[in-house]
Structure 1
Amino acid sequence: MHIVIMGCGRVGSTLAHTLVDLGHSVAVIDQDPEAFRRLRTAVAKHTVRGAGHDREVLLNAGIDRAAAFAAVSNGDNSNIIAARVAREAFGVRNVVARIYDPRRAEVYQRLGIPTVATVRWTADAILRRVVPGDDRLGAAPEWQDASGSLTMNELTPPERWTGRSLAELEDDFRLRVVYLVRQGRIALARSEETIAEGDVLHVVGRSRDMADLTQRLAGRHEDETGRG
């Protein structure tokens, strides 16, 4: 599979090396020729100097036969423009853009361009590991579909939920538990499973239901069973 990467910084070069190691062909675009020095010789066989939103540059990188395009330069505008050109002009199905401003990321996802908002996702993940179980943090978004209507969240259950079944939790909050992490081990969720202290749940649901869950976790009107 051929993949085009725009941006040869730390993220872009890491992506390129990993994809080549997995057996894929890769072309890397960057405006700074010095950036290509990050690449191993085997990976640097197909590099293109230029702007990633320029059609001629993209064609030189093999965008017309690419199965995926990743825009990971250090410019939000450049990334999203290049991603849209790859998707709309060349019909590349798998497109992702790295976005530094999380407010822009949410807007662009609604336009159908999957994004990774580096600062927001990293900050959320760190917060939930240094203060696990803090209800004020709510549920951490791990993934969101292009329309913004469906999300997958990481959730650390409050102590009062210990002993409740996953089925009960799913019914109460209109979500599905996909998998859980217990004592460092990952397991697919079973509806009859009960929540144990220290569990971390990964749940999928509608965005509005996730927002309701966050409010209920932060509220003070739940009884000890966790019901509203």
Structure 2
Amino acid sequence: MHVVIMGCGRVGSSLAAALQRLDHTVAVVDKNPQAFHRLGKDFRGQQITGNGFDRDILVEAGIEQAAAFAAVSNGDNSNIVSARVARETFGVEHVVARIYDPKRAEVYQRLGIPTVATVPWTTDRFLRMLLPEGVATAWREPSGTVAVLQLPLHEAWVGHRVSELESAVGARVAFITRFGNGVLPDARTVVQADDTVYVAALSGTVTDVTAAARRTPEESE
């Protein structure tokens, strides 16, 4: 498929190279012609100098035939404007914009533009490497308000209902992995041995939630 990338920084050039290795055609747009040096001598795609939200520039990049568009410049406003033009003007099916400000990311998600909120995402990646298993979040929504995390559950919770666990830890059980399969629990679901339990919690409560999960049901009463 054909992919248009707006921004030829480290992320844009790396993404272009990866897509080319997968045999996709790629056009990279950047207002600074010097940025294209990052693409290397082996890059076979288009290199177009200009603004990624300029319709004529996008047409030159093949946006009318593109199946995907990635806005990864260093400016939030440029990324979201170009992403909206790609989606709303040219009808590109897969559009993603990189956003540094997590509050803006939440707004743009509501507009139907998938975003990668760089700061929260990077923070989560560091936490998953730094903290003990089961403490760091597995997923966080763009504003950073709600996190999904694996619960470091005390073994004494085996045999107890999910509703009891939710009440004790102050979070909602999102899903359980059981024997390699995902389970969507209800209030009557009972925790079994070797279950991996994931909960959705407010970001500011993650420490309290994990601490409560490590206690026995009796200690939580």
- SS, match of residue 116 in structure 1: strand
CA distance in 2, matches of 1:166, 1:214: 26
CA distance in 1, matches of 2:155, 2:106: 31
Shift of 1:42: 3.7
Given that 1:166 and 1:195 are in contact with CA atoms closer than 8 Å, whether structure 2 keeps it comes out as no
Within-5 A mapping of 1:88-167: 88-132=88-132, 139-142=137-140, 153=148, 155-160=149-154, 164=158
Residues 2/112 of structure 1: CA separation in 2 closer, same or farther (3 Å cut): same
Given that 2:83 and 2:96 are in contact with CA atoms closer than 8 Å, whether structure 1 keeps it comes out as yes
Given that 1:6 and 1:30 are in contact with CA atoms closer than 8 Å, whether structure 2 keeps it comes out as yes
Shift of 1:213: 9.5
- TM-score norm. by structure 2 comes to 0.75
| CA-to-aligned-CA distance 1:105-134 (integer Å, 9 cap, x gap) | 111111110000111111122123312268
- SS, match of residue 35 in structure 2: helix
Residues 163/210 of structure 1: CA separation in 2 closer, same or farther (3 Å cut): closer
Match of 2:201 among 211, 215, 221: 211
Residues 221/62 of structure 1: CA separation in 2 closer, same or farther (3 Å cut): closer
| CA-to-aligned-CA distance 1:27-74 (integer Å, 9 cap, x gap) | 000001111111133424411100000000000000000000000000
**Residues 1:194 and 2:186 aligned together:** no
Tell me which residue corresponds to 2:21.
21
CA distance in 2, matches of 1:16, 1:166: 50
Q: Structure 1: which 5+ runs fail to align?
A: 181-186, 204-208
Aligned residue type for 1:160: H
Tell me which residue corresponds to 2:176.
177
Aligned residue type for 1:72: V
Shift of 1:86: 0.2
Q: Among the aligned pairs, what percent are the same residue?
A: 45
Tell me which residue corresponds to 1:41.
41
- TM-score norm. by structure 1 comes to 0.73
Aligned residue pairs, count: 205
Aligned residue type for 1:46: Q
CA distance in 1, matches of 2:56, 2:160: 53
- SS, match of residue 216 in structure 2: coil
- SS, match of residue 119 in structure 1: helix
Tell me which residue corresponds to 1:224.
216
CA distance in 2, matches of 1:124, 1:53: 30
Q: Structure 2: which 5+ runs fail to align?
A: 167-171, 185-190
Residues 94/29 of structure 1: CA separation in 2 closer, same or farther (3 Å cut): same
Given that 2:68 and 2:95 are in contact with CA atoms closer than 8 Å, whether structure 1 keeps it comes out as yes
Tell me which structure has the larger Cα radius of gyration: 2
Given that 1:72 and 1:79 are in contact with CA atoms closer than 8 Å, whether structure 2 keeps it comes out as yes
